[in-house]
A and B are shown apart, each in its own frame.
Chain A
Amino acid sequence: MSQLNQLLTYAILIFVAVTSLFPMYWLFNTALTPASSTVKLPPDIIPANATFDNFGAIVKASGVSKIPIPGSDEVWRVPRLYVWFFNTALITLVSTAVHLVFDAMAGYAFAKRKFPGSNLLFAMILAALMIPAQVTLVPLYMMITQWKLVNTFAGVILPGLADVIGIFLLKQYIQTLPGELEEAARMDGASEWTIFTQIIVPLTTPALAVTAIFSFQRYWNSFIWPLIVLQSPDLFTLQVGLSFIHTSEFGTNYGLLMAGAALAAIPMIIFFFAFQKYFMQGLRIGAIKG
Chain B
Amino acid sequence: MQALVKFWHKHKWSYFFIAPSMILFFIFIVYPVAQAFLLAFQKVDLRGGTWIGFKNFTDLGASKLFWSSLQHTFVYAIFVVLAWITSSMVVASLIQPLTNKVQSLFRAAFYLPNVISIIVISLVWIWIFEPDYGFFNFLISSAGLPKVLWLQNPDIALWSIVLSTVLIVPGSGVVLYSAAMGSVPRDYYEAADVEGASALQKLIHITFPLLKPTTLYLTVIYTIAGFQIFERVYIMTGGGPINSTTTIVQLIFQTAFSDFNFGRASAEALILFAIIAAFSFVQFKFLSTDVEY
Using a CB–CB distance below 8 Å, which chain A residues touch chain B?
1, 9, 12-13, 16-17, 19-21, 23-24, 26-27, 30, 38-43, 99, 101-103, 105-106, 108-110, 113, 115-116, 118, 121, 124-125, 128, 130-143, 158-159, 161-164, 167, 192-193, 196, 217, 220-221, 223-224, 228, 239, 242-243, 246, 254, 257-258, 261-262, 264-265, 268-269, 271-272, 276, 279-280, 283-284, 287, 290
Closest residue of B by beta carbon distance from A167: B21
In the bound complex, do residue B214 and residue A20 qualify as a contact, i.e. CB atoms below 8 Å apart?
no
In the bound complex, do residue B110 and residue A128 qualify as a contact, i.e. CB atoms below 8 Å apart?
no
Of the A-B pairs whose beta carbons lie under 8 Å apart in the complex, a sample of 6, sorted by A's number, is A20-B113, A40-B133, A43-B138, A106-B20, A137-B269, A283-B175
B contact residues around A272 at 8 Å (CB)? 111-112, 115
Interface centre among B123, B126, B176 (most CB of A within 10 A): B123
In the bound complex, do residue A134 and residue B117 qualify as a contact, i.e. CB atoms below 8 Å apart?
no
In the bound complex, do residue A128 and residue B30 qualify as a contact, i.e. CB atoms below 8 Å apart?
yes
Which residues of B71-129 have CB atoms within 8 Å of chain A's CB atoms?
87, 91, 94-95, 97-98, 106-113, 115-121, 123-128
Give the complex CA separation of A196 and B11 in angstroms.
15
In the bound complex, do residue A135 and residue B28 qualify as a contact, i.e. CB atoms below 8 Å apart?
no
Residue B18, interface by CB 8 Å: yes
A contact residues around B116 at 8 Å (CB)? 24, 221, 265, 268-269
In the bound complex, do residue B25 and residue A12 qualify as a contact, i.e. CB atoms below 8 Å apart?
no
B contact residues around A280 at 8 Å (CB)? 107, 111, 175
| Known pairs A16-B87, A243-B235; A130 contacts B25 (CB<8 A) | no
Give the complex CA separation of A254 and B131 in angstroms.
13
**Number of B residues, CB within 8 Å of A:** 91
Count of inter-chain pairs, beta carbons less than 8 A: 248
| Known pairs A17-B106, A167-B21; A39 contacts B30 (CB<8 A) | no
B contact residues around A113 at 8 Å (CB)? 13-14, 17
Using a CB–CB distance below 8 Å, which chain B residues touch chain A?
11, 13-18, 20-22, 24-25, 27-33, 35-36, 39, 87, 91, 94-95, 97-98, 106-113, 115-121, 123-128, 130, 132-133, 135, 138, 142, 164, 167-169, 172, 175-176, 179, 213-214, 216-217, 220-221, 224, 227-228, 230-231, 234-235, 249, 252-253, 256-257, 262, 265-266, 269-270, 272-273, 276-277, 280
In the bound complex, do residue A221 and residue B273 qualify as a contact, i.e. CB atoms below 8 Å apart?
no
A contact residues around B253 at 8 Å (CB)? 224
A contact residues around B249 at 8 Å (CB)? 134
